[in-house]
Amino acid sequence: MKRSKESLTILFMVSLTLFSYELLASRIFSVILPNHFAYLVISFAILGLGLGGILTYFLSKNNKYSLKHFSWIYILSYIVVISVIILAPYLGNPVFYILLAIIPFIIGGSIISYLFKLQDDPYQSYSVDLLGGVLGLILAVLLMKYLGLIQTIIITFILVVLLMMLPFKENKLVLVLSSVIILLIVFNFGQLTSLYENNFNSFKSSPHIGFNSSFDIREKSLFTRWNEFSRTDVYPLKEDPNRLLVGMDGASFSFMIRFDGDYNKLEYLKEDIGYFPMKVGKPQKIALIGPGGGEEILYALLAGIEEVTAIEINESTVLATEELKEFSGDIYNHPQVRTIIGDGRNVIRKSDQKFDQIYLSLVMTNLGSGMANTLAENYIYTKEALGDYFNKLTDEGIVSFRFHGEHDLLKMLSTVIEYSYETGVPYTKISDTIIIGFKPMKNHGLKYPVMLVKPSGFTKAQVNNIYQLMVKYNVQPLHLPRIFEDDSLKKMKEGEWTLENLTSQIPANIDATSDNQPFFYNFEQGIPTTLSLILAVSTLLLLILFNIGTRKIKEENFVELFFFFTLLGMAFIILEITLIQKLTLYLEHPINSFVTVIVSLLVGAGISNLFYSKKEIFKDKNPIFYLIGLATVELILINKVLYWTGIKEVGFKMIFISLLLLFLGFFMGLPFPKMLARLKESELNQFIPYAWGINGVGIVIGSVLTLIVAMIFGFNLSFILGLILYLIAAWLMAKLK
């Protein structure tokens, strides 16, 4: 009993610190690597858990596994890997970061699979593992929210050293040494924080950070803040004393403008293309989605707009303008500005006001999980989002956009056309609702174009007035109804073309986006290269493991067991990722969705395993069939909940979704330990680390398949794919009886 409690405590601590490490690593990589490599690193890190199980299988088979040695290695790898990633200059190739990041996962996965092999009760072990993961995730999120990333990392160093005391608690020397290390960290907490914050050399030297490659900035940051969502920095520009560069995760940029209350000093802003939409239709009430450093707020005030609603999802950006108010003029607290921290689309949808204009300028999603914008959901640019915006416009209202370049302009144009056609506007009328313009920039092609969409259509008189404004502000029309018509839109107006003709002419993915397929920034045709690479490597690894298993494992049901554990990992992660992606819309931020879904499913799974360890349930029944039935009902409910406005506060939404998913987690947590119990009953304990390993590889393959299927067919079909894989796993489970 004593040994069992000690093993469960170690299992709990390793799981807690590993989940924290995954979130911390994803935050670090999101600011130093290209976004698609940030996603790649985390995928391979998860793969490390599986590799750890395989390592344990071969070492324990030859009686060469030492829990004490692996505990030492885990602690050292945890601290050293994070320290090297932060303190070392950029390593030159993202592959090096993959190799570094995977080490603690391999060692941690090895320890967890070994402890599963030792325990007599797999349900109890699984519930402790899940509980550690839940608390590790919650702890990391809360600490990052209130303390920031660096302080959170140092606290996890303390937790990981505490782990060292457990296997060595009878060794006084080790206990004293561990205690001294912890005291040194505690008493030097401030100095360690400064060391890591001031010497974040990988961030400073990474060529993938816009601060380093796209802008000529002064070296010292005026403002830096980490939270659970992002890292926000403000830098002065060497050649422009009137602007400060505001960056989120070193990739998504906006400007803070020098403002002392004198609008005469802002006349130069009227030359910016972003100012032009503010003058169209003479709006008096405008909503700005994602104004960042506040440049768009000044456009609106300079244009004479009386009421400005500024909706910014990143609170740190607003705090930066307040802390630097002598420069910014404290623009978010201007008497004519109402500031709301939140997701732009959800704020608009819940609003009881109507606006003359809703303005979205260069809004880009940056996920806390480190997933690429090209692979990320962006629900502010979908057909359903357009419907939400149009519903909050006055009779003559306009939705206006400013884009980065041609591809996002064309993708939004496709989305507008498809939404209009699906809501009853014929192709021959759609072109009269759209105006597109840009300012020619030498050697830059089509950069920062603007598009204005008026659901009621622009009248001839309005078009003439807009043309005069274009001439005044030196804006060149790309499409201006009846005056300068884009060739594609003109062919639609004349009945010669449909949307399919337009999208087929462009050598990029500019298909309309919907809430079921919200990948706005994915312009790559076919399967993205990153996903293809992960799928190829993980599938090859799975084939290698299968080949090794057929030669080394003498078990008549090996093939069925192999595919059961692989499919179980794939199905679990497919449902999990799909739920996270879909619920981002309702829960208003990817981090809210990530935490709510993961915690709900893991807590539900933990409850079922604790219950099962006390009293065996579903003894002669297959829990997967119950899971499939419940998951089908929940998919239908969630598709309805996404657009339900009965609950307005995010916190209550998270509680509501948690209760909804808890029952699903209850059943999702049973198949894996139930099959481990059968292995123990059949005296196949040696197979458990191997099963853990192939389950981990299945998780990686499943995560890639989720995104591939979602991009091609949508999230609803990716969820259904998960249910199909569960159905096959249920058949295998029945066969293995």
* Distance from C-alpha of 657 to C-alpha of 647, rounded to nearest angstrom: 11
What is the rounded distance in angstroms from the CA atom of residue 398 to the CA atom of residue 279?
11
Side-chain half-sphere CA neighbours of 39 within 13 A: 22
In the chain, which stretches have pLDDT less than 70? 1-3, 35-43, 167-168, 209-215, 364-377, 443-444, 613-620, 737
Alpha helices in 62-93 (DSSP H): 67-87
What values do phi and psi take at 427, rounded to 5?
-55, -35
**pLDDT score at 444:** 66
Using a 10 angstrom Cβ sphere, with 0-12 exposed, 13-18 middle and 19 or more buried, the burial of residue 684 is: middle
pLDDT score at 565 = 94
* Residue 297, both tokens: 């707020």
Q: What is the rounded CA–CA span in Å between residue 117 and residue 121? A: 10
pTM above threshold 0.85 = yes
Measured CA to CA, the distance from residue 480 to residue 434 in angstroms comes to 8
- In the chain, residues under CATH classification 3.40.50.150 are 265-504
Assign domain 522-737 to a CATH class: mainly alpha
Q: What is the pLDDT of residue 67?
A: 82
Q: Where in the chain is the domain with CATH 1.20.1250?
A: 1-209, 522-737
Count of Cβ atoms closer than 10 Å to residue 306 Cβ: 12
Q: How far from each other are the two terminal CA atoms of the chain, in whole angstroms?
A: 30
What pLDDT does 617 receive? 64
Gap between the Cα atoms of 663 and 229, Å rounded: 28
Quote the pLDDT of residue 123.
80
**From the centroid of its chain, how far is CA 22?**
13
Predicted pLDDT of residue 50: 85
What is the pLDDT at residue 3? 55
Whether 23 contacts 141, CB under 8 Å: yes
**How far, CA to CA in Å, does 541 sit from each of 97, 109, 544?**
20, 17, 5
Q: Cβ distance 82 to 24 under 8 Å?
A: yes
Nearest-angstrom CA–CA distance, 627 and 719: 13
Q: What tokens appear for 589 in the block?
A: 């931020």
Residue 373: what pLDDT?
41
pLDDT of 371: 39
Give the residues across from 144 on adjacent strands. none
Query: Looking at domain 265-504, does it have CATH number 3.40.50.620?
Result: no
**Dist. CA 75–CA 66, nearest whole Å:** 14
Task: Round to whole Å and give the CA distance between 375 and 251.
Answer: 15
Architecture per CATH, 1-209: Up-down Bundle (1.20)
Biggest CA pair distance of the chain: 88
Rounded CA separation 468/210 (Å)? 37
Please tell me the distance from the alpha carbon of residue 529 to that of residue 525, in angstroms, as a whole number. Answer: 10
> Which tokens sit at 596?
């709510």
Three-state SS string across 456-471, please? CCCCHHHHHHHHHHHH
